Amino acid sequence: MSRNSSYIKTIVGSNIKRIRELRGFTQDDLSEVINMNTSALSDIERGLTYPKPENLDKIAQALKVPYELLYVNALFLIVFISSLVNTTIS
């Protein structure tokens, strides 16, 4: 596995986790919404595996963010996350 591939998995996983927590979802909650095993979601969040494109889309939809946002670095994400603080998931 290339260094860039590992870095991307880490970025995507940590972004999913940050946004999920900000939205008030537990891993179990999000796993249920997207119909994914909780341990698979945990592996994604820890950067161990990369989600299939269709699962990445489901995750982004459940978190109500554009899927492209899951690829951005932490500095930009902090700015975006600050705008999520007052929004809720239904």
Q: pLDDT of 20-53, one tens digit each?
A: 999 999 999 999 999 999 999 999 999 999 999 9
The pLDDT value given to residue 77: 63
Q: What is the pTM of this model?
A: 0.78
Question: If you average pLDDT over each of 4-8, 9-13, 81-85, which comes out highest?
Answer: 9-13
In Å, how far are 6, 18, 23, 85 from 81, measured between CA atoms?
23, 8, 10, 7
What pLDDT score does 79 carry?
67
- State mean pLDDT over 69-84: 71
Q: pLDDT value at position 19? A: 93
Q: How many CB atoms lie within 10 A of CB 17?
A: 19
What is the rounded average pLDDT of the residues 78-85?
A: 68
